[in-house]
Structure 1
Amino acid sequence: MRRAALALLACWWAAAARAETMVLSLSSHRVQITSTYTGAELVIFGVIDNERRSVTRQEPYDVVVTAAGPRASTVVRQKVRLGPIWMNLAQRKFADVPTTLAQISSRPIVQIASPDLRRRFGLGLDSILDPAGYDLIYDPTFRTALIRLQREAGLYRSEERGVTFITPSIFRAVVPVPATAPLGGYDVDVALFSGGVLLAREDTNFEVTKVGFEQAVAQAARQHPIWYGAATALMSVAFGWLATVIFRRD
């Protein structure tokens, strides 16, 4: 009887500690790439429902938004210079890592969650890139290099104060979609914290697609590769002949 009472009390306390829920709304679930596409920004709104909460929070809410693009394997190579020649000295392979990654939080992540919690739930760029994805001996130098290269390419971003609370229970954040974003599905994960404790977690998604002439060309290349190749070759010959006619000397 005593054990049952303790178990019931523990369940009640766990439910009370995580009584909050979230409702998310994304400004668009589809990003269309055209010939004039230079990047996009999606706005995500969230409402924290704490009506069922039976305990008073002593700490304010914190929110971490993570938007990850399609996953792929990536190889990072270390180069050394021998005289005038650059050579590959070593390489590491990251398996199944996001091609694009954006993490937006209400304040620095190190102030929101402990190192163990960040590693467990993938908070922070270092934690998302799991060292178990290496195919060789783990070396953090290559993970740091991967993050640096992706940042320089505009594919990995982090903003420590990008989540804004409009009211104590309503927040918004801007999710950037870079100009070089690959096509495919993107996952958006939103985690709610208070006092270093994870209270709730919800997710949504959006898709990056091509439309217009670009989509027609890409679809033709996939569905009719032979005709597409022949048309490309004929266009090259035609443009070459036209150039000789225009620039020839009489």
Structure 2
Amino acid sequence: MIAPLARLLVFGLLLGAGPAGASELVLSLSKPRVTITSSFAGDSIVLFGVIEPGADAPADLAYDVVVTVRGPNESFVTWRKERRFGLWTNGDSRTFVAAPSYLAVLSNRPPSEMAAPDLLRQEQAGFAQNRLLQRLGTDYADVVPGDPFRQAFLRVKQTQGLYLERTDAVSFLAPRVFRAAIPLPGTAPIGRYEVVVKVFAGGEMLKRGATTLDVGKIDFEQAVATAAQDHAWLYGLVTALGALMVGFIGNIVFRRD
């Protein structure tokens, strides 16, 4: 983790020597790719950042940082349970369209203390401010945070460890240098993750930066996952034949006669 921090500090010095009034946000991940194997139980990726203020920025300006990590988009269906004739059955449902399969919102303090609600909502800075589009008949719309389907969806995702918010996960190593640990559970979906960083000060958003994190399988695991996705019928046939073969061999080895 020291190497990315040292690299960021060098970048910060180069930016400081740039033209007057330059304003930059430099980001670096401890590792830009996470490889998943059969024994993968989770990982933690560290994000480092350097804030280079403009020439007219006060020297004692206090910064706030919100880091939002979104996994590949997927569609999810949330059902409402209803009791009918003494049995619990599925009732109404809502489909969440292009919702992130993984969502982490990390900050140095609660986003509600950084800026006005309208600005936070516009910038999707904060867990409750992230838009989750639902299919409502023929329309698509985000709903209020208290919507029961939204609450149920978030509850399931949080239980799985795929949605989280931590308001103390960003720490400042220096007035303009920060770090944040991005937790990835063992069930982290594969694909490209978008890491968006927004810097606030004085109730305004000053800077925005983004980088990407790739989560993927390797070697045999990747080959199996690709085959299961691209050739589902062939994968199922090979799996069934393999199970039969294992059973046949086991019968021969452990047969008593």
TM-score by length of 2: 0.81
**8 Å CA contact 1:41, 1:177 repeated in 2:** yes
Q: Match for 1:198 among 195, 200, 205?
A: 205
Larger Rg: 1
Q: Note the alpha carbon deviations across 1:93-132, whole angstroms, 9 max, x for none.
A: 21111010001001011111221011101122222134x5
1:38 to 38, 41, 44: 41
Q: Identity of paired residues, percent?
A: 41
Distance in 1, Cα, partners of 2:159 & 2:238: 37
Distance 1:197 1:69, change over 3 A: same
Q: Does 1:171 align with 2:172?
A: no
The aligned residue for residue 103 of structure 1 is: 105
Structure 1 stretch displaced more, 220-229 or 203-212: 220-229
Q: Which has the higher helix share?
A: 1
Task: Give, in whole Å, the separation in 2 of the partners of 1:171 and 1:28.
Answer: 16
Could you tell me which amino acid in structure 1 is paired with residue 198 of structure 2? A
Q: Partner of 1:3 in structure 2? A: none
Can you give the 5+ residue segments of structure 1 that lack an aligned partner in the other structure?
Answer: 1-17
1:61-86 per-position Cα deviation (integer Å, ceiling 9, x unaligned): 00000000001111111102346521
Structure 1 residues 234, 69: CA separation in 2 closer, same or farther (over 3 Å shift)?
Answer: same
In the superposition, relative to structure 1, how do residues 141 and 233 fare at CA in structure 2: closer, same or farther (>3 Å)? closer
Q: For the Cα contact (< 8 Å) 1:164–1:172, is it kept in 2?
A: yes
Give the 4+ runs in structure 1 shifted more than 4 A.
136-139, 220-230, 246-249
- What's the secondary structure of 1:233's corresponding residue? helix
Distance 1:233 1:93, change over 3 A: closer
The answer on whether the counterparts of 1:19 and 1:54 sit within 8 Å (CA) in structure 2 is no
Give the paired residue count: 231
2:135 is aligned to: 134
Q: CA separation of 1:218/1:73 partners in 2, compared to 1, >3 Å: closer, same or farther?
A: closer
Which amino acid letter does the alignment assign opposite residue 81 of structure 2?
Answer: K
Q: Residues 149-180 of structure 1, C-alpha deviation per residue, up to 9 Å, x if partnerless? A: 11011100110010000000100000112211
Given that residues 94 and 134 in structure 2 are in contact (C-alpha distance below 8 angstroms), is that contact kept between their aligned partners in structure 1?
Answer: no
In the alignment, residue 43 of structure 2 is paired with which amino acid? A
Q: Does the residue aligned with 2:129 lie in a helix, a strand or coil? A: helix
Aligned residue among 215, 219, 223 for 2:222: 215
* Shift, 1:243, TM fit: 3.1
The aligned residue for residue 116 of structure 2 is 114
Aligned positions of 1:23-102 closer than 5 A: 23-50=26-53, 52-56=54-58, 59-82=61-84, 84-102=86-104
Q: Would the alpha carbon gap of residues 149 and 57 (structure 1) be closer, same or farther in structure 2, given more than 3 Å must change?
A: farther
Q: Which residue is equivalent to 1:189? A: 196
Counterpart of 2:96, as a letter, is: F
Q: Which amino acid aligns with 2:116?
A: S
1:129, 1:143 within 8 Å by CA — same for their partners in 2? no
Question: How many Å separate the matches in 2 of 1:205 and 1:79?
Answer: 38
